[in-house]
Amino acid sequence: MSAHPASMNQRLVSLLERYRGAIGSLNVISSFHLHGPLDLAALEVALTRTGDRHEALRTTLRGAGARLEQVVHPARPVAPLVERVRAGRDAAARVLAERCLAPVDLRAEWPLRCHVASFGRDDHLLALMVHHAATDGWSQAVVVEDLAAFYTAAVTDTEPELPPAGWQYRDFSAWQAELLGSERGRASREFWRDELAGAPPLELFDDGWTGSTDDAESERVEFALPAEVGAGLRAWGRANRATPFTAFMAAVAALLHEHTGQRDLVVPTMMANRLRRESQRTVGFLANLVPVRLRLGPAPDFGDLVSEAKARLRTAIRHQELPPQLLAPTATRGSDAPVTLVFQLLDIPAAAPSLPGVEATSCELPQRYGSRFDLELETWPDGGGSFGGFALFSHRRFTRRWAESLVADLVDQATRAAVPAAGVGSAS
């Protein structure tokens, strides 16, 4: 067992749990339907070897504040938690959801759990749950891929051909601490101080919200772009050297401009924070929330918005390594606080693992949604050339009716953006 200084993101998670209590919404879940003979002994071997490969999966926390430490434990067997459900797939999904949302005590428990609910001889639901202190979207994809490789090796009595793991999370944490104390870190702080100076709060309101709820949970409203809209956005992007992320950032800017009238917008987005080659296979919470400040003209068309988004995103990507906790926080709390928003395009598909003799497909479990933001807008490639997504909104700030209207407006902005002649974001 060895102890090392915690990363900035581990401190953030510890702080959230200190003031909000252990909350299952910080559990990151990848779930799959498996059809075929599942070898539970091989699954245990795979879980154990995955934990052995990635220290973050066997790391607990101790201390507090600046003295918070990550404690790396020696590898040990990690067994899946298996139960049989006789009432069918839906019941199995409800059971797994309940298990996966159980809080993790990071002071005493490893952040990795694997639950299996069998509802037929060859039908199972598998949920791989990792606490957010030890994972992010990129890391979760790495864990699923490595788990599948080790499972295949156990079943076929071979050794997997995996790329080097690179940095362990404690290596990343040490590099981050060195960066923050360097001249480069000081320059990054100065850049963000200048970049965000005078930025106004987002004035996004729901006129139908009464402020009478104590419900801390969030709710999700989903959307799907028609295939022709997705194809149009991609074609427009190729013609103008813009990525889908840039196009959607422009559409979100148009949406916020239409709803607020503001022409100076800060749109935070989650970035992987993996500019170093050594971090490409690192498992841990590396991602940073990066503010992207967009300044719009009096009557911006879609071309203007994309040009602004391209320039600002390019700059933000170069400065994504500074943890957001080091940026000046907003002191206001409660219903008078500015709306906190995050937008992200998930470009790492939640691919189902490839397992010998077992057909695996991704699935979702019923869950209660929680978020530290008032509003999250997420979108991703749907596999058919277009995009799906959702708005995750807090009951403490917005109503479902308002969120449904916002999502409809976002789809409308994307639809008009797919045909440049139609124009986007002409509100003044």
Q: 246: which 2 tokens?
A: 């840039």
The pLDDT of residue 221 is 94
Q: 5-16 burial string, b = 16+ CB within 10 Å, else e?
A: bbbbbbbbbbeb
Q: How far apart are CA 115 and CA 142, in angstroms?
A: 18
| Residue 350 scores a pLDDT above 80 | no
Q: 320-344 burial string, b = 16+ CB within 10 Å, else e?
A: bbbbbeebeeeeeeeeeeebbbbbb
Per cent of the chain over pLDDT 70 is: 91
| pLDDT-derived band at 19, boundaries 50, 70, 90 | low
pLDDT tens for each residue of 93-110? 999 999 998 889 999 999
| Residue 339 scores a pLDDT above 50 | yes
CATH superfamily name and code, 2-172: Chloramphenicol acetyltransferase-like domain (3.30.559.10)
| pLDDT-derived band at 346, boundaries 50, 70, 90 | confident
Q: How far apart are CA 253 and CA 384, in angstroms?
A: 25
The pLDDT of residue 209 is 76
Stretch 204-227: mean pLDDT, rounded?
78
Give the H/E segment covering residue 173.
helix 169-180
Stretch 250-276: mean pLDDT, rounded?
93
- The residue extents of the domains of the chain are 2-172, 188-351+366-422
Measuring CA to CA, which residue among 136, 192, 180 is closest to residue 312?
Answer: 192
Per cent of the chain over pLDDT 90 is: 64
| Residue 425 scores a pLDDT above 50 | no
Query: Is the CB of residue 282 less than 8 Å from the CB of residue 168?
Result: yes
Distance set, CA 224 to CA 66, 121, 125 (Å):
43, 35, 26
| pLDDT-derived band at 165, boundaries 50, 70, 90 | very high
CB atoms under 10 Å from CB of 369, counted, come to: 15
Stretch 325-345: mean pLDDT, rounded?
66
Q: How far apart are CA 225 and CA 408, in angstroms?
A: 10
Burial class from Cβ neighbours inside 10 Å (0-12, 13-18, 19+) for residue 39 reads middle
| CA of residue 47 relative to chain centroid, distance | 23
Give Cβ neighbours of residue 208 (< 8 Å, ≥ 6 apart).
399, 401, 402
How confident is the prediction for the chain on average, in pLDDT? 88
| Residue 181 scores a pLDDT above 50 | yes
| Residue 362 scores a pLDDT above 80 | yes
Q: How far apart are CA 119 and CA 42, in angstroms?
A: 20
Task: Name the more confident of 244 and 188.
Answer: 188
DSSP string, 81-93: EEEE-TT-HHHHH
Identical topology for domains 2-172 and 188-351+366-422 = yes
Stretch 278-298: mean pLDDT, rounded?
95
How does DSSP classify residue 124? E
Pick the CATH number of 188-351+366-422 from 3.20.20.70, 3.40.190.10, 3.10.350.10, 3.30.559.30: 3.30.559.30
Tokens 């427009």 sit at which residue?
236
Q: How far apart are CA 369 and CA 362, in angstroms?
A: 19
| pLDDT-derived band at 409, boundaries 50, 70, 90 | very high
The pLDDT of residue 244 is 83
DSSP-derived pairing of the beta strands 264-271 and 218-224: unpaired
